[in-house]
Structure 1
Amino acid sequence: MSFVLVDHPRPGVALVTLNRPERMNAMAFDVMVPFRETLERISHDNAIRAVVVTGAGKGFSSGADQTSAGSPPHIDGLTRPTVALRAMEMLDNVVLALRRMHQPVISAVNGAAIGGGLCLALASDVRIASDAAYFRAAGINNGLTASELGLSYLLPRAIGSSRAFEIMLSGRDVHAEEAERIGLVSRCVPADDLLGACFDLAERMATFSRPGLELTKRTLWSGLDAASLESHIHQEGLGQLLVRLLTDNFEEATAARKEDRTPRFRDTR
């Protein structure tokens, strides 16, 4: 049985499904290792222009697998402290792989996104939730910290510091309607419409210029880290100049509007 499934529901769109529904797609190593490898492979597949990630069954991902997490790869001969370090590094790299993908990533949050599952959703570029979804920073409920896999970095940037502090310190559930209201997800849709809404958005993204799409994703993320408006505005300008001067995309978009047709971006001159 494959714990990670890949489908191609629309032209240029890949659907990646975490496929261990009996454990709510928990982050066991036998799921996360192939998931990371799949993301890295898709990132270099130039036929894929946008990616949708979801979970099989009733959950997106329930975070740490408390029943049978397995072992990270390549740990022969290592002592327990080093194994723990390698395990965290491997899980960290899953979050980073989502963020580093060349394509925009949309999380279709179909159910519970708990602990590390919340981190996976936050590492994507866009989150759309079904009305059955809910989110929880669960570490504090388990006697640990709520901070894991970049959560204390990503959540305040998504919803603001005060809301993030309250959610992480209380360990309470955030249901889909509230998640939409506070900006944790961009929208909430009926469960039966979730994948269709994500595919429609992904397909729209796939029509745009490849460098335009990739540079927009990069500058949006770098803007969250920018030390000043001045430094970031220069970076944005360089990206805009790169595409404007090295492609005829702008001229094609202008012509397409005049001719009432869909533009055909060549990404070159």
Structure 2
Amino acid sequence: MSAPTAQTPTTFRLERPREGVVLLTLDRPEKYNAMTATMFAELETAARELDREEGLRVVIVTGAGKAFCAGYDLADAEKLAGLGALGMLDLQESAARALTGIRSLRVPVIAAVNGAAAGGGLALALAADIRLASPRAKFNAAFVKIGLSAGDLGTSWLLPRLVGPAAAAEFAYTAGMWDAARAEETGLVNRVVPEDELLPAALAMAEQICANSPGGVQLSKRALHANMEVTSYAAALELENRGQALLTRTSDMSEALEAFRAGRAPSFRGN
């Protein structure tokens, strides 16, 4: 069933395969789901609307057809030279807002990488909290081959935190292609699963997440994201302490304790 939005997007589909789970499928298969200015605007809007949606628990991002996302559409790229410096900055900031919107969703985001994830497509996969990949998945940061920098849409910040500085440097400077096995070995993806099991595996993980308290999951995500950006153990503890104190005031915490004492599964309501 399609998700209700203010305006139906043209570059991706929104579906609800399970209660509380949204599947966002990039839907330009003839272009390997390449990004355009329209896609950036639609992703930013969708992220804003989803983040306000009651009952949302997990978002899964994948691509239609053979690719996850091939990066910026080269047909659109021909127009870039005519934009001027400020016009190019507007486009870059629009792209950054789109990916920031996905990364900043209050609920976990799972990337189901079904094929090539290159350039901006790599950045989109990195923006997810968890990455599952099919054996056909390929990852590429070929920015330096076209005169650009791997400092694009958060790649230079997220990549070293996932694979380590040395592997990130090799990947960025050589513009090499990593297959699914190499991505799993370095920690770029959490797990490689058979192609026909990719979406079922993402949905199974989403259901595992949905079985836990919504507040606990959301504040866990907030703590993990925030503490990637602080350099102080004391600051990390301060944020964690506030989150735990808030969660002990929720009805879900009381329900979890009652369910434990009764030997049954808890029924969380998200408050």
Do the structures match in fold with TM over 0.5? yes
User: Where does residue 263 of structure 1 map in the other structure?
Assistant: 266
Show structure 1 runs of 4+ deviating over 4 A: 69-72
Could you tell me which amino acid in structure 2 is paired with residue 253 of structure 1?
A
Whole-angstrom distance in 1 between the partners of 2:231 and 2:205:
31
Task: State the TM-score, normalized to the length of structure 2.
Answer: 0.91
Q: Does the 8 Å CA contact 1:115/1:136 hold for their aligned counterparts?
A: yes
* Counterparts of 2:142 and 2:70, CA distance in 1: 9
Contact in 2 for aligned 1:59/1:113 (Cα 8 Å): yes
After TM superposition, give the deviation of residue 261 of structure 1 in Å: 2.3
Change (3 A) 1:2 1:70: farther
Alignment of 1:143 onto 2:143? no
Q: Which amino acid aligns with 2:266?
A: P
Return closer, same or farther for 1:63/1:260 CA change in 2, 3 Å cut-off.
same
**Partner amino acid, structure 2, of 1:63:** G
CA distance in 2, matches of 1:13, 1:228: 35
Change (3 A) 1:123 1:137: same
Q: Which is worse superposed, 251-260 or 28-37?
A: 251-260
Identity %: 38
CA distance in structure 2 between the aligned counterparts of 1:95 and 1:121, rounded to whole angstroms:
10
1:97 lines up with 2:101 in the alignment = yes
CA distance in 1, matches of 2:200, 2:92: 34
1:61 and 2:69 are equivalent in the alignment: yes
Residue 37 of structure 2 corresponds to 29
TM-superposed deviation, 1:259: 3.2
1:153 partnered with 2:153: no
Runs of 5+ unmatched residues, structure 2: 1-8
Query: Is this contact kept in 2: 1:29–1:70, CA < 8 A?
Result: no
| Deviation readout 1:91-125 (Å, 9 max, x if unpaired) | 01011101211211111100000011100011111
Give the Cα–Cα distance (whole angstroms) in 1 for the partners of residues 22 and 246 of structure 2.
Answer: 28
Q: For the residues of structure 2 that align with 1:197 and 1:79, how far apart are their CA atoms? A: 42
Q: Which residue of 2 aligns with 1:84?
A: 88
TM-fit CA distance, 1:70: 8.8
Q: 1:132 aligns with which of 132, 136, 148?
A: 136
Superimposed CA distance per residue, residues 177-234 of structure 1 (whole angstroms, 9 cap, x where no aligned partner): 1111111111110110000111111122122222211111111011111111111011
Decide whether the 8 Å contact of 1:54 with 1:109 is kept in 2.
Answer: yes
- How many Å apart are 1:41 and its aligned residue? 1.2
Name the CA distance, whole Å, in 2 between partners of 1:53 and 1:38.
12
Provide the rounded CA distance (Å) in 1 between the counterparts of 2:191 and 2:259. 30
Q: Are 1:7 and 1:14, in contact at CA under 8 Å, matched by a contact in 2?
A: yes
AA partner of residue 37 (structure 2): F
Q: How many residues align?
A: 262
Matched, 1:119 2:127: no
* Secondary structure of the corresponding residue to residue 61 of structure 1: coil
What is the aligned-residue RMSD (CA, Å)? 1.9
The one-letter amino acid of 2:134's match is: S
Which structure 1 segments of 5+ residues have no match? 73-77
Q: Deviations over 1:44-75 (max 9, x none)?
A: 11122110011111111111111135989xxx
Q: Which residue of 2 aligns with 1:233?
A: 237
Question: TM-score when scaled to structure 1?
Answer: 0.92
Structure 1 residues 136-179: Cα deviation after superposition (integer angstroms, max 9, x where no partner): 11101222222211111110011111111111111101111111
SS at match of 1:67: helix
| Preserved contact between residue 44 and residue 102 of structure 1 (Cα < 8 Å) | no
Query: Are the aligned partners of 1:29 and 1:71 in contact in 2 as well (CA < 8 Å)?
Result: no
Match of 1:75 in 2: none
How has the CA–CA distance of structure 1 residues 28 and 79 changed in structure 2, closer, same or farther, with 3 Å as cutoff? closer
